[in-house]
Structure formats: structure tokens, C-alpha cells
Amino acid sequence: MARKYFGTDGVRGKVGEPPITPELIMHLGYAAGKVLASADWHLAQGERPGVLIGKDTRISGYMLESALQAGLSAAGVDIYLSGPIPTPAVAYLTRALRLQAGIVISASHNPYEDNGIKFFSASGNKLPDKVERAIEAALDDPIRTMPSAALGRARRINDAAGRYIEFCKSTFPTELDLRGLRIVVDSAQGATYHIAAHVFHELGADVVAIANQPDGLNINQECGATYPKTLQEAVRQQQADLGVALDGDGDRLLMVDGTGKAYDGDQMLYIIAKHRKQQGTLKGGVVGTLMTNLGMQRALEKIKVPFARAAVGDRYVLELMQNRGWQLGGENSGHIICLDKHTTGDGIVSALQVLHAMRAYRADMAHLTRELALYPQVLVNVKVAKGFDFSNQRPVRDALGEAEADLGDKGRVLLRASGTEPVVRVMVEGKPQTKVKQWAATIAQAVRKAAEK
């Protein structure tokens, strides 16, 4: 069955436009509740399935939370409300509280006008495709409210943030601390605003917190992992040793060293992999994506670490990691998954793994990435109409073929439709940089012209 609402990262869109309307989200809650209620959970007689709902700091989160709550209750599912907490905190608490599912209301790194719904299973993983398909199918059914005595009940978890802070700290070695480090923490005015700084401070760091005063409208606004300039300036001004920037829902990470140099997901993943390889704790290899820099792959090969590429999206990275029995993977956007620490990507936990390597080697990020030479990479996002298929456009195929022939084995070209917004992403990577820029512009223009027809 073709997906109507679910993309690569749940259901997402502009608030007020389908599917992010109160009516549709209430129906989504009901459909998810019916699918969950029909599963065999081995519950005690009279016990109802339980679902945790967390959200980021967008003003629309309150509206969507109420809609979800109404739908789930109508289906006979109990609801546990955590308030604003990061996406990985929902994954953790769903497992810790032995609930049947977790739901996050967030559009991650997108502006406040957008929002979305994503689900976690009882094990803290993204829902399998077959369960998402079942929820899609159930959306065609009318809402039939359970009898009053069978309606789901709602309750609030008042210590959700504190529980998650302790979990994050538990992923850092007890014999190490962060004393002597001055760290700027950028929470993107998002879900980690009351959590991230506390984690690093309680491990001993001198913390300067920025972008930690959300007002419902400023999430990801010129701050966070997708806007490194704010963190870079703060690190220099505060004469800090490093900076940590998260995105709106806390599953993405970017780090900055004391000079203001930014380090992306590929570089941080390399630091973690290299450290674990030398420790003898790396299980298998590393999973990246089609967007992972070719220089990263070559650097891992030099230290004899196997590497594999998955489709873009952390769910696909996770699937390939699980299929191969590996524990480490991620994307250059800053989503990093350490399966020995958590079931999903976690910005705070990933930062702590980088800091573990830094403390163990007594070295900074520049030193730990000295053997990693990233290839120049240009990414152009071309806005298109929803459903536009670039693969059927002859001029686009011609431009792509010419670029691949010209770059040869010294580069790569990748075109893909975004799973979260109506754009085609054009990525060209290789040497020299001037050629990479030229081909990126040429292919993007071909896509743009084809989309305008």
C-alpha cells in the first residue's frame, strides 16, 4: 500500500494544512490507538495499552497534543504526558515505563510553522513499516468511541526531564568527568532547553547555555545544529573549549571546537569509531548513508573499519545496523546512533561519546580528526511540487550522466527527493571544488526547469 501520510520520519507538514490539522491528528491518534489495542500485549485483564506523548516547544504542540489525546482515549488507550522533552527521551521513557508506544510531536529542525508526529515502539525503536501501514489503513475507518468505562485515561509524568538527564549521564564513563572544560550549549530554543545544559554541568563542565528560552515561535530560529554561526560566535566570545548545538527535538548534533571550527556528523562519527576501534569495543563496522562523505569512507578503510551505506534517514541507518549486528552509525547531518547506549539517535548522548574520546586521548577534535580529509561537497535544495518525479525528466538524467562521467572515481552525484519537505536534494562531491560547484549548479538548474514545466 502506498503511503499517504507517513514519510521517512513520521507524519509532517505545515500546521493547519493536511495532514497537520486537529481533525486529522485526532483521527491519527484514534487509528494508532486501534492498531495498538489490537496487538497481543499480554496485558492483565482490564488493563489498557499505554502511550507516552512528548513534544518540542512549538506553539502548535499543545493543540496537536490535545487532538492526539482525544483520539487515543476514544480508542481505549491510556495516555502519559511528559510535556516538552527531546525525541530520544520519549524513546527512553517508553521503554523505562514499559509502555506500548511513544509519540513525539515535533518537526525536528524545521521552522515553528511546521509540525509532525512520529512514533516509537515499545522497544524504543521507530515503528516498523508494517505497523505504519496498518495505521494508514485504519485512518480510513470512522471513529467509533469506546464506551465511557473503557475510555483511555490521561496522566502527567512530572519527573520526565530528570529521569532523562540521569539516563544521559549514565552513558558517560563513571571514572571520567568534564571538569576543566568550558562548554557552550545551544538548545535551539527546542526540547532540550531545560535538559542539555544540566547534563554537561552535572558531569563537571562549566556550562554557558544559549538559545534556551523558547517562546513557541523561535525554535531553530538562527540557532541550533542547523545554524552553527550562533554557536561559533558564542564559543569565541566566551573563550570556551568547545560548543554543542542540538536541533529542535534533540536528536541531531553539531559540535564546535575552541577556534570556532564546526564538526559535522561524519567527523564526530569518525572520532567515536576510531576511539572504539582502538579500545577494542567497536562491534562490526559503521553504517552511513548515501550522503556520507567519501573521505569518511576512505578514512575508515585506512583504520580497517568496515563501512556500509544505507538510504538517507535514521530509520534506514538503524535497519542496516540491526541487520548487520553493528552498533554504530549515523548521518553527516548530525544524527548519530550508538546502539550500545540508546535505541535511537540522541544528540546529547552522541556528544558525550565524542567527549569520552577527547578525555580518553586528552586531545581536541582537530587532533582526533587529523587523518580525516573530507571531500568538497555541495548540497542544493530545489523546491518542487509535491510528487514531482525528477527521474522521468530527460534533461535531468542527461545532466546527471555528464557529471558522473566527468567526475569519474574522484567524485559522486546524488539526487533524491526529501522525505520531509517538497524539495529535491542535489548533492555533488569530489575534487576539485570548483568542478563540484559547477556541476551542482548545473544539475540543480536542470531540476528547477523541469519542475517549472
* Domain limits, the chain: 6-158, 163-259, 263-368, 377-452
Domain 6-158 sits in CATH 3.40.1260.20: no
Distances (CA, A) of 13 to 6, 16, 107, 180, 384: 10, 9, 8, 43, 15
The CATH homologous superfamily of the domain defined by 263-368: Alpha-D-Glucose-1,6-Bisphosphate, subunit A, domain 3 (3.40.120.10)
| CB 90 within 8 Å of CB 10 | no
pLDDT at residue 312 in the model = 87
For residues 288 and 374, give the distance between their C-alpha atoms in angstroms, rounded to a whole number: 14
Peptide linkage before 19 cis (omega within 30 of 0): yes
pLDDT at residue 6 in the model = 87
Beta bridge partners of 425: 381, 416
In this structure, are strands 6-7 and 114-121 parallel, antiparallel, or unpaired?
unpaired
Give the SS3 label for residue 29. Answer: helix
Residue among 21, 76, 11 nearest 49 (CA)? 76
| CB 330 within 8 Å of CB 269 | yes
| 104 φψ region: left (φ > 0), alpha (ψ -120 to 50), beta (else) | beta
Instruction: Please give the CATH number for the structural domain made up of 163-259.
Output: 3.40.120.10
Beta bridge partners of 289: 310
Distances (CA, A) of 137 to 8, 64, 141, 285: 17, 21, 8, 37
Each residue's pLDDT, cut to its tens digit, for the chain (453 residues) gives 557 888 877 899 999 999 999 999 999 999 999 998 888 887 877 789 999 999 999 999 999 999 999 999 999 999 999 999 999 999 999 999 999 999 999 999 999 999 999 999 999 998 888 899 999 999 999 999 999 999 999 999 999 999 999 999 999 999 999 999 999 999 999 999 999 999 999 999 999 999 999 999 999 999 999 999 999 999 999 999 999 999 999 999 999 999 999 999 999 999 999 999 999 999 999 999 999 999 999 999 999 999 999 998 888 999 999 999 999 999 999 999 999 999 999 999 999 999 999 999 999 999 999 999 999 999 999 999 988 999 889 999 999 999 999 998 888 999 998 877 789 999 999 988 999 999 999 999 999 999 987
> pTM for the whole thing?
0.91
CATH architecture for the domain at 377-452: 2-Layer Sandwich (3.30)
HSE of 209 in the Cβ direction (CA atoms, 13 Å)? 16
Give the SS3 label for residue 191. Answer: coil
| 403 φψ region: left (φ > 0), alpha (ψ -120 to 50), beta (else) | alpha
pLDDT at residue 213 in the model = 98
Q: Residues with Cβ < 8 Å from 317, sequence gap 6 or more? A: 287, 288, 289, 310, 329, 330, 331, 335, 337
Neighbour tally for 260: CB within 10 Å = 17
Q: Is 418 a catalytic residue?
A: no
Q: Which of 60, 73, 106, 108 is catalytic?
A: 108
In this structure, are strands 242-246 and 253-257 parallel, antiparallel, or unpaired?
antiparallel
Buried b / exposed e across 363-402, counting CB within 10 Å, b at 16+? Answer: eebeebbeebebbbbbebebebeeebebeebeebeebbee
For residues 44 and 36, give the distance between their C-alpha atoms in angstroms, rounded to a whole number: 15
| CB 33 within 8 Å of CB 77 | yes
Report the amino acid identity of residue 221. Answer: Q
Q: Which three cell numbers stand for residue 30?
A: 484514534
Asked whether the domain spanning 263-368 has the same topology as the one spanning 163-259, the reply is: yes
Radius of gyration of the chain (CA): 22
pLDDT at residue 2 in the model = 59
pLDDT at residue 45 in the model = 77
pLDDT at residue 313 in the model = 86
Buried b / exposed e across 67-102, counting CB within 10 Å, b at 16+? Answer: bbbbbbbbbbbbbbbbbbbbbbbbbbbbbebebbbb
